[in-house]
Structure 1
Amino acid sequence: MPSYAQDVPLTIDGVESSLLAETNPLVRAVIMSLFTWRRAEPDDPIEDTKWGWWGDNVSDVENDQIGSRLWLLAREKLAQSTLNRAEQYAREALAHLIDDGVATRVTVAAERIGNDGLGLTVTVYRVDAAATTLRFSNVWSLINNV
């Protein structure tokens, strides 16, 4: 698993920065939400175990889960349906920001970058601050550990 402060290149409001991952709690929360493996759902197509964070099984809050299911895309081809699922999984992973009152709205856009790249753009609309846009340009390589 990468050390996100160094290994997750991201662009925030047009500025490339990994230092913000160390200093900004919202950026840290988004990175942890997207790139921590959430436990697979019973109907997710996966062999063997359902993986994911073991703590989801013993949470004090019923059905509380941490992370995303982006890791399920690792064996997929990079098609439009994969981009659609990436958006769905990212929105699911970031929904807690709204539930917890941190944001009023979160938008996610997935895009294909070249032949073998997947990018995600996340915009978090805060209650008491300006919107923050985060762009992750190497999601596909993070999912596939390359």
Structure 2
Amino acid sequence: MTDIALAWNDETFSADLMLTAGAIASDDGMRTAILISLFTDARAPDDAELPEDGDDRRGWWGDQFAADAGPQAGTSNDPNRIGSLLWLLRRAKITNANIQLARQSAEAALAWLKRDGVVSAVTVEIEVQESEGVRRRLAIGVTLDRPNGPGRQRYDFTWDASIT
């Protein structure tokens, strides 16, 4: 699978197109797919508490055209939904329960990899990073077991969830 490469910036907690020799770089691995899955804002369920004032439940507009027209189509449980609900934890306190919610959100966002046969297993690890003078942030580790080709691949990201 070849994608346009996105590069994750640990300082700005964002991704941007990657250039190589002035041209848009490509990614033959899974890093870009993982970035899009984790850091695109999935639509929040109607009963979810939003982290900011207003009623913007976000979500990718293309989700309404998902191929699956099953009973979950268009809902937050739709298996074809793009993105994760990590954004709902943006202002949450770091608690064991919220760390578990972050793990569950990441696992749900990456479940398509196994469902579509891209990998045989996905493992998500969430860790709180702290250092003096730096706001606490989450470290997200994703390990993929590929059914063919190179066995295990590990991807690491830090995410500034504004968790206090």
User: Under a length normalisation based on structure 2, what TM-score does the superposition of the two structures give?
Assistant: 0.70
- Name which of 49, 52, 55 aligns with 1:48: 55
Question: Structure 1 residues 4, 78: closer, same or farther in 2, change over 3 A?
Answer: farther
Quick check: which one's strand share is greater? 2
CA distance in 2, matches of 1:128, 1:8: 30
Report deviation, 1:117. Answer: 1.5
- Larger helix proportion of the pair: 1
1:112 to 128, 146, 157: 128
Give the counterpart of 1:27 among 14, 24, 31: 31
Percentage of identical aligned residues: 35
Moved over 4 A (4+): none
2:9 aligns with one of 7, 10, 35: 7
> Which of the residues 63, 87, 90 maps onto 1:71?
87
Q: Which has the higher contact order (CA 8 A, sep 6+)?
A: 1
Change (3 A) 1:102 1:8: farther
**Paired letter, 2:68:** V
Distance in 2 (CA, whole Å) between partners of 1:53 and 1:25 is 23
Cα RMSD, aligned residues only: 2.4
Compared CA separation, residues 84 and 6, structure 1 to 2 (3 A): closer
Deviation at 1:98, TM superposition (A): 0.5
Gaps of 5+ in 2: 12-17, 20-24, 70-77
1:28-64 deviation per Cα after TM superposition (whole angstroms, max 9, x unaligned): 1111101111111223222513111111123232332
Residue 66 of structure 2 corresponds to 59
May I ask how many residue pairs the two structures share in their alignment? Answer: 130
- How does the TM-score come out when normalised to structure 1? 0.78
Indicate yes or no: 2:164 matched with 1:134: no
Secondary structure at 1:91 match in 2: helix
- 2:57 and 2:139 map into 1 onto residues whose CA distance is 25
